[in-house]
């Protein structure tokens, strides 16, 4: 995964919608490596799930068979 555009930090008070803040902000760099595979997405913090949801969507669109999310903590 790679960030394709800058976003505000999800906790920034200017962020009205966390989902809109990260919409279109990520891409799979090596789509052939995820096609047909089960992928574990690792993130540091799970707050609203918007970032994980957007990344999982991008992975599925690029052909991942399934996406599981693993986070260090939930806020």
Task: Please give the structure tokens belonging to residue 32.
Answer: 């052939």
pLDDT at 74: 85
**% of the chain beyond a pLDDT of 70:** 100
Task: Please give the structure tokens belonging to residue 22.
Answer: 């990260």
Task: Please give the structure tokens belonging to residue 59.
Answer: 């992975």
Looking up tokens 């999982």 gives 56
Question: What share of residues in the chain are helix, strand, coil (percent, to 5)?
Answer: 30, 30, 45
Q: Give residue-wise pLDDT tens across range 20-47.
A: 999 999 999 998 999 999 999 999 888 8
* Interval 10-19 mean pLDDT: 92
Q: Give residue-wise pLDDT tens across range 55-70.
A: 999 999 999 999 999 9
Residue 3 has pLDDT above 90, yes or no: yes
Q: Where exactly are the structural domains of the chain?
A: 2-74
């Amino acid at each position: 995964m790679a960030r394709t555009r800058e976003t505000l930090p999800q906790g920034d008070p200017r962020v009205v919608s966390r989902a809109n803040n990260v919409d279109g902000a990520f891409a799979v760099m090596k789509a052939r490596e995820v096609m047909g595979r089960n992928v574990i997405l690792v993130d540091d913090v799970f707050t609203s799930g918007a970032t994980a949801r957007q990344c999982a969507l991008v992975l599925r669109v690029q052909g991942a068979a399934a996406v599981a999310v693993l986070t260090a903590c939930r806020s």
